């Protein structure tokens, strides 16, 4: 195993689908973006970790022009067969790992593959830890407050119900608190009310299908639980700062690029 390249970078909006001869690791330190792997688009944001196998086409970019995606970017040449087998598993490659135990276990498991080796791998083991564990695991394992956990549980419930509706009482019951305290919690943590944050999540998730030719605005509005296309359009403009029509015009249709 050899670390080819490791850096902290600011990635501007781009539309290039690419691949490398090495494994590519991304740890997002700021901003929100989107990535494409195996014809599947997913959202990515601060704290998320994703990697792509060697010679596998993929795409990673901020949501729109003018935005920046901050990340730790690492290329690693991996030749160890057991580790290759593990990392090429479709359960992991191209999948998003959230901060905490998932990401930590993944990286620790990678380290464990080298435990049966001795002196010849000690230097590489140390380098691997210093480049990845220091940058990723230490961030993941920072102590989270009780309030952080409550917010995370609410956001996960929002994501689980992204195609339907949620009432304030549903969220407050989840974390066993009052509705007024829930609103205060969101205002302090994410500078938004639960309702507005839920709508923002709906809009961000809708970006994953907004350029599909077989989906009309009416259909997308219905999929994400908006009253109608006009309601969807108003919320879209508030969140994205532009109209749906303009966003579609300025966004590269990634699936067409893949086919070409």
| Domain co-membership, 129 together with 193 | no
**pLDDT beyond 70 at 260:** no
Among 111, 140, 169, the domain boundary falls at 140
| Domain co-membership, 153 together with 136 | no
**pLDDT beyond 50 at 182:** yes
| Domain co-membership, 229 together with 124 | no
**pLDDT beyond 80 at 6:** no
The model's pLDDT over 189-201, given as tens digits with 9 standing for 90+, comes to: 888 999 999 999 8
CA distance linking residue 235 with residue 226, whole number of Å: 9
Among 88, 111, 140, the domain boundary falls at 140
| Domain co-membership, 168 together with 248 | yes
| Domain co-membership, 234 together with 113 | no
CB atoms under 10 Å from CB of 87, counted, come to: 21
CATH of the domain at 225: 1.10.10.60
Supply the pLDDT for residue 42.
Answer: 83
**pLDDT beyond 70 at 59:** yes
Among 91, 121, 140, the domain boundary falls at 140
| Domain co-membership, 104 together with 224 | no
* Higher local confidence (pLDDT), 4 or 73: 73
For 97-121, give one letter per residue: b (16+ CB within 10 A) or e: bebeeebbebbeebeebbeeeeeeb
User: To 10 degrees, the CA torsion angle through 151, 59, 50, 10?
Assistant: -70
CATH of the domain at 34: 2.60.120.280
Residue 136 Ramachandran class (φ > 0 left, ψ -120 to 50 alpha, else beta): alpha
Instruction: Identify the weakest region by mean pLDDT among 7-16, 75-84, 119-128.
Output: 119-128
Rounded to an integer, the average pLDDT of 94-110 is 50
CB atoms under 10 Å from CB of 24, counted, come to: 22
**pLDDT beyond 50 at 254:** no
Instruction: State how many domains the chain has.
Output: 2
Instruction: Identify the weakest region by mean pLDDT among 16-30, 53-67, 131-145.
Output: 131-145
Supply the pLDDT for residue 117.
Answer: 40
Tell me which residue range forms the domain holding 194.
Answer: 146-256
**pLDDT band at residue 98 using 50, 70 and 90 as cut-offs:** very low
By three-state DSSP, how is residue 77 classified?
Answer: strand
Supply the pLDDT for residue 197.
Answer: 93
Sheet-wide strand order for 32-37: 40-45, 32-37, 58-62
**pLDDT beyond 90 at 177:** yes
**pLDDT beyond 80 at 107:** no
Contact status, residue 98 vs residue 48, Cβ threshold 8 Å = yes
1: part of which helix (H) or strand (E)? none
Supply the pLDDT for residue 155.
Answer: 87
Using a CB cutoff of 8 Å and minimum separation of 24, what contacts does 100-104 make?
Answer: 100/140, 100/141, 103/49, 103/136, 103/137, 103/140, 104/137, 104/140, 104/141
| Domain co-membership, 39 together with 127 | yes
CA 108 to chain CA mean position, Å: 20
Hey, which residues does 72 pair with through a beta bridge?
8, 27
**pLDDT band at residue 44 using 50, 70 and 90 as cut-offs:** confident
């Amino acid at each position: 195993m050899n670390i080819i390249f490791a850096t902290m970078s600011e990635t501007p909006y781009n539309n290039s689908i690419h691949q490398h001869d090495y494994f590519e690791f991304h740890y997002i330190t700021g901003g929100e973006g989107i990535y494409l792997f195996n014809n599947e688009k997913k959202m990515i944001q601060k704290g998320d970790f994703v990697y792509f196998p060697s010679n596998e086409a993929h795409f990673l970019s901020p949501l729109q022009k003018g935005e920046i995606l901050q990340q730790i970017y690492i290329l690693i040449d991996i030749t160890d067969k057991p580790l290759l087998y593990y990392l090429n598993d479709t359960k992991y490659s191209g999948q998003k790992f959230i901060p905490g135990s998932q990401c930590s276990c993944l990286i620790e498991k990678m380290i464990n593959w080298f435990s049966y080796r001795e002196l010849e791998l000690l230097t590489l083991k140390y380098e691997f830890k210093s480049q990845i564990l220091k940058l990723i695991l230490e961030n993941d394992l920072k102590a989270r407050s009780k309030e952080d956990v409550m917010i995370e549980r609410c956001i996960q419930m929002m994501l689980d119900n992204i195609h339907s509706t949620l009432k304030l009482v549903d969220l407050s019951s989840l974390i066993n608190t009052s509705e007024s305290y829930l609103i205060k919690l969101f205002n302090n943590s994410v500078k938004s009310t639960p309702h507005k944050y839920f709508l923002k999540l709906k809009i961000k998730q809708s970006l994953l299908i907004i350029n599909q030719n077989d989906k009309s605005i009416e259909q997308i509005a219905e999929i994400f639980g908006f009253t109608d296309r006009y309601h969807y359009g108003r919320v879209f403009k508030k969140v994205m700062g532009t109209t749906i029509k303009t966003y579609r015009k300025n966004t590269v249709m990634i699936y067409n690029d893949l086919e070409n």
